[in-house]
Amino acid sequence: MLNPDRCLSAYEYELPSDRIAQSPAVPRDRSRLLVVDPDKSYSHKHFYQLPQLLRPGDLLIFNDTRVIPARMYGHKLSGVPVEILLMEPLDTNRWLALVKPGKRLPVGSTIVFTPDIKAQVVGTDQETRGRELLFHIPEGQTLTEIINELGHVPFPPYISAPQAEPEQYQTVYAKKPGAIAAPTAGLHFTERLMDELKEMGVSQTYI
């Protein structure tokens, strides 16, 4: 007999769309925080109260990657719209990307972003079902410059109205470009809160 805990249906629940925040709290650390104690009791607090829950000598490990504008829009030579989500750089001008509509973009297809900027599908990845894209860009420009110019921040699918400021989808300590999604647990930290934690003896390191 199948263990009920192993059924996906055991983890389904109703989440009304109006309960999903579409914009961050201002300031960030005013967001709500659910605290679960070892005895399984819980309480509701706010993120700025985190210093009350930590002790000197504790260690916080932060992911300091910075979200890149990894979503790009173009079209096939036929004019059919194409959307891509850059996932991983493979070489100087080659990226692994998820593409829509995937079935209409076999190896050999061309995606046009501007008259001077195109990408050719040169391979497929069986594990991710993504496409290997080789970008053809103007001489004197780098692909990083192109992505920053034409790309869009890939907001999560549950955000129906993208925030006006893409910086709201970056952590305050983001430094290393390359992520296609923010480490969302870190979005609630403010510089003031991080300074307060450091002053009370909570160590901080970055990966």
The CA distance from 163 to 172, in Å, is 16
HEC-encoded secondary structure of 22-79: CCCCCCHHHCEEEEECCCCCEEEEEHHHHHHCCCCCCEEEECCEEECCCEEEEEECCC
Q: What is the mean pLDDT of the chain?
A: 92
pLDDT band with cut points at 50, 70 and 90 for residue 95: very high
**What is each CA distance from 100 to 37, 72, 109, 117, 182, in whole angstroms?**
44, 11, 13, 18, 22
Q: What percent of the chain has pLDDT over 70?
A: 95
- Please name the amino acid found at residue 75: H
Its sign, for the CA torsion 90, 156, 168, 162, is: positive
What is the Cα–Cα distance from 62 to 155, expressed in whole angstroms?
A: 21
List domains and CATH numbers for the chain: 43-68+156-207 (no CATH), 71-150 (2.40.10.240)
Q: What percent of the chain has pLDDT over 90?
A: 74
Confidence band (pLDDT; 50, 70, 90) for 189? Answer: very high
| Res 119 pLDDT > 60 | yes
Neighbours of 153 (CB within 10 A): 20
Report the distance separating Cα 205 and Cα 93, nearest Å.
Answer: 32
| DSSP 3-state of 130 | strand
Q: What is the predicted pLDDT for the residue at 162?
A: 58
121, 76 contact by CB (below 8 A): no
**One-letter amino acid of 50:** L
Tens digit of each residue's pLDDT (9 = 90 or more) over 13-59: 898 988 888 888 999 999 999 999 999 899 999 999 999 999 999 99
